[in-house]
Amino acid sequence: MTDAVLKYGDQELPLEVLDVTDGDRGLDISPLRSSLGLVTMDRGFGNTAESRSDVSYIDGEQGILRYRGYPIEQLAEQASFLEVAYLLQYGELPTASELDAYAQRITYHTMLREDMKNMFEAFPHRAHPMSILASATSALATYYPDALDPLDPESVDISARRLIAKTPTMIAWSYKYAVHQPYVYPDNDLDYSANFLKMMFSVPAEVYEPDPVVVKALNMLLILHADHGQNCSASAVRLVGSGHANIFSSIAAGIAALSGPLHGGANQAVLEMLSAIYESGDDIDTVIKRAKDKEDPFRLMGFGHRVYKNFDPRARIIKTAAEEVLEALGVDDPLLDLAMQLEEIALEDEYFVDRKLYPNVDFYSGIIYRAMGFPTDMFTVLFALGRLPGWIAQWRELAADPGARIFRPRQLYTGPAVRDMTPIDNR
């Protein structure tokens, strides 16, 4: 291992360089403050690794994403969502019998406590599904107070399974309440995606058969969203968990973080942007011009990424899937054509080329969700459903790490220097 040396004035501080399996090596700056009285400044943590992690690997320059070493393309093509959830939780792909047992241990928990219905009914009918999901997830801690100890592996395991099992039911029930339809109970004979679709879209008056095209596409979309390193929401989950908050509160924090339009909320924002462009009849050049204008707050939603500077491998898969799914469902959506034209023009534009701005995971996902029948304001809860196993794996990794410390960044104080308080009558 090669050390680095930091020179500051006439002092020299050797710093350890930390090895990795793949990607950037790390410089351990922990002695910096105690030795030199310096802290580091890194806005948006663009250059900071808080932890070592084994969960997922991203190479933004090459457009690579792997979960536990497996390329995302292979998992999206061949795996089921629960298989990926198992992989993220336990580090290895399950055998057929392990997967079967895991699926049974999940489906056992798909029901919600009946009195949770009162909670959904306390919200306005038009409440945003992300706000309801964050609240309902946090509320789960009140129903299972005996399994909240973050340092007890058995409690963590059952809470993780409850979360994965109950989140589809919570999302579907918040939707049913919003559209004034009766709640649909889980059907444990169906697989994860099919059961979710049934709870969302079936009504007691009619027989419901989930469309296999939709089930397959949803399974793939959930897999593509399942983890993504130390992004904003995963970091929120870990940060809250670092204080030994329970897993439900920590995941609720992740959902809150994901809701913002710069993060998971971008999938809703993309669809709203495409609809607004379509309805206004603006030509694409005008839209691109606005996105480049620094005086205009408008950004091309679904474009750009902190890490991907070549292409987002998830966006590539979703773009192809969007075309296939819409064709299979017989949906002709002018917003898909509009998105493709926008992408084509942006990718040739000097502004986007220079800044390495490419379509991200959110650019095409909303078009598939819309074709499946999901309302626009539900797109981000679908992202949350997919990301759940990743958040849990990240939280568990930190909880099991003997070197973990409570997250407590430093600051560079730039406020007023010390001054005496003037009594209120003299101010």
Note the residues at the interface with ligand ACO (CB under 6 A).
44, 262-264, 266, 291, 299-306, 355, 357, 360-362
Least separation in angstroms between CB 354 and ligand ACO: 9
The whole-angstrom separation of Cα 341 and Cα 353 is 16
Residue whose CB is less far from ligand ACO, 3 or 296: 296
Least separation in angstroms between CB 189 and ligand ACO: 33
Least separation in angstroms between CB 61 and ligand ACO: 14
Select which of 362, 377, 401, 425 is catalytic: 362
Least separation in angstroms between CB 305 and ligand ACO: 5
The whole-angstrom separation of Cα 347 and Cα 329 is 29
Name which of 371, 367, 333, 373 is nearest 172 in CA terms.
373
Select which of 128, 305, 312, 349 is catalytic: 305
* Count of Cβ atoms closer than 10 Å to residue 305 Cβ: 22
Least separation in angstroms between CB 170 and ligand ACO: 21
What does 187-210 look like in DSSP terms, one character per residue? -TTS-HHHHHHHHHH--TTS----
Residue whose CB is less far from ligand ACO, 305 or 396: 305
Residue whose CB is less far from ligand ACO, 282 or 401: 282
Token representation of residue 253: 């924090």
Any catalytic annotation for residue 362?
Answer: yes
The whole-angstrom separation of Cα 232 and Cα 45 is 10
Residue whose CB is less far from ligand ACO, 216 or 263: 263
Name which of 65, 62, 21, 24 is nearest 46 in CA terms.
24
CB 374 within 8 A of CB 199: no
Name which of 213, 173, 175, 167 is nearest 194 in CA terms.
213
Residue whose CB is less far from ligand ACO, 115 or 354: 354
Q: Specify the 3-state DSSP secondary structure of 376.
A: helix
How many helices, marked H, and strands, marked E, lie in the chain? 18, 7
Q: Which residue is nearest to ligand ACO (CB)?
A: 304
Question: Between 379-399 and 266-280, two packed helices, what is the crossing angle to 10 degrees?
Answer: 160
Could you list the active site residues? 305, 362
